[in-house]
């Protein structure tokens, strides 16, 4: 997944661009856009268009979305079908600055880093913190349900739960309905932690360089991304 940024190296014809075909001057109406996967191939790992690896550019066309139409130039409709032409340049595609995955990774790492001094005061790691958030919200739930909610596998979750239990914050019991199911719950000490951690979202939120409406918009986009990847 890559992001083509305005002002990147190379000429305008080497960038991932949107072109309004059939417009009065389509050759001059190129704008950088975001590419989410190989052109015309969804999430497939294969290259788009021709399989000739020696080619310096590959192209594919598809109908434009409403957002892409607005990006092109906000002109009045011409009545002709508009298509999106993606010109793929391997050199540009492999630039680190164009990788959306890296931006997500780096932002996540830096945000989690902001939590550390705040959570150290509560004797919590970030993963323990989000596990306690879910338990405070749900009251009781199975180990499997907690793992699904946190998107953690059993290899990560099991030692996490052992540490929370050792600290006296959670307890585990077998379900009366099915003894194979382990149910997690909060101890009185664990429930008290909710009050002690009430300041955490505001404290960390004050360090995030986004306006409230930007944070809401970003959360919506991330929800869409996570839902699509599930």
CATH number for the domain including 223? 1.10.10.10
**Is residue 89 very low, low, confident or very high in pLDDT (cuts 50, 70, 90)?**
confident
The H or E element containing residue 103 is helix 100-120
Write the DSSP symbol of residue 20. -
pLDDT digit string (tens) for 122-152?
999 999 999 999 999 998 999 999 999 999 9
**Is residue 88 very low, low, confident or very high in pLDDT (cuts 50, 70, 90)?**
confident
Lowest mean pLDDT among 55-69, 76-90, 112-126, 214-228: 55-69
Number of folded domains in the chain?
A: 2
**pLDDT of res. 24:** 42
- Rounding to the nearest 10 degrees, give the CA dihedral for residues 105, 124, 226, 110: -20
CB 142 within 8 A of CB 175: yes
Q: Are residues 104 and 217 in the same domain?
A: yes
pLDDT of residue 212 exceeding 70, the answer is yes
Q: Are residues 197 and 221 in the same domain?
A: yes
Pick the more confident residue, 49 or 207: 207
**pLDDT of res. 182:** 92
pLDDT of residue 107 exceeding 60, the answer is yes
CB 46 within 8 A of CB 38: yes
Give me the domain span that covers residue 127. 100-229
Residue 220: is it exposed, middle or buried by C-beta count within 10 angstroms (0-12/13-18/19+)? Answer: exposed
Q: Are residues 147 and 83 in the same domain?
A: no
pLDDT digit string (tens) for 161-208?
999 999 999 999 999 889 899 999 999 999 999 999 999 999 999 999
SS3 63: strand
Question: Which of 81, 98, 115 corresponds to the end of one domain?
Answer: 98
Q: Are residues 13 and 30 in the same domain?
A: yes
**pLDDT of res. 70:** 47
Q: What percent of the chain has pLDDT over 90?
A: 56
**pLDDT of res. 119:** 97
Pick the more confident residue, 139 or 34: 139
Phi, psi (rounded to 5 degrees) for 82: -105, 140
**Is residue 50 very low, low, confident or very high in pLDDT (cuts 50, 70, 90)?**
very low
**pLDDT of res. 203:** 95
**pLDDT of res. 15:** 39
**pLDDT of res. 16:** 40
pLDDT of residue 222 exceeding 90, the answer is yes
**pLDDT of res. 91:** 87
User: What pTM did the predictor assign?
Assistant: 0.63
Q: Are residues 51 and 142 in the same domain?
A: no
pLDDT of residue 74 exceeding 90, the answer is no
Q: Are residues 85 and 130 in the same domain?
A: no
Question: Which of 98, 128, 151 corresponds to the end of one domain?
Answer: 98
pLDDT of residue 99 exceeding 80, the answer is yes
């Amino acid at each position: 997944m890559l992001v083509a940024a305005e002002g990147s190296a190379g000429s305008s014809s080497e960038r991932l661009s949107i072109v309004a075909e059939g417009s009065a001057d389509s050759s001059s109406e190129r704008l950088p856009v975001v590419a989410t996967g190989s052109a015309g191939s969804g999430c497939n790992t294969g290259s788009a268009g021709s399989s000739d690896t020696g080619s310096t550019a590959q192209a594919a066309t598809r109908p434009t979305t409403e957002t892409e139409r607005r990006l092109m130039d906000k002109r009045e409709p011409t009545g002709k079908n508009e298509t999106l032409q993606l010109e793929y340049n391997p050199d540009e595609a492999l630039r680190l600055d164009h990788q959306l995955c890296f931006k997500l990774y780096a932002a996540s790492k830096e945000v989690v880093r902001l939590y550390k001094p705040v959570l150290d005061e509560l004797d919590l790691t970030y993963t323990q913190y989000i596990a306690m958030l879910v338990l405070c919200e749900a009251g009781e739930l199975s180990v499997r349900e907690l793992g699904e909610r946190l998107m953690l596998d059993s290899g990560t979750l099991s030692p996490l739960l052992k540490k929370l239990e050792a600290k006296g914050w959670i307890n585990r019991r077998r379900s009366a309905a099915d003894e194979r199911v382990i149910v997690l719950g909060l101890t009185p000490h664990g429930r008290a932690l909710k009050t002690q951690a009430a300041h955490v979202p505001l404290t960390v939120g004050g360090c995030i360089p986004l306006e409230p409406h930007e944070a809401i918009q970003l959360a919506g986009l991330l929800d869409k991304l996570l839902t699509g990847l599930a």
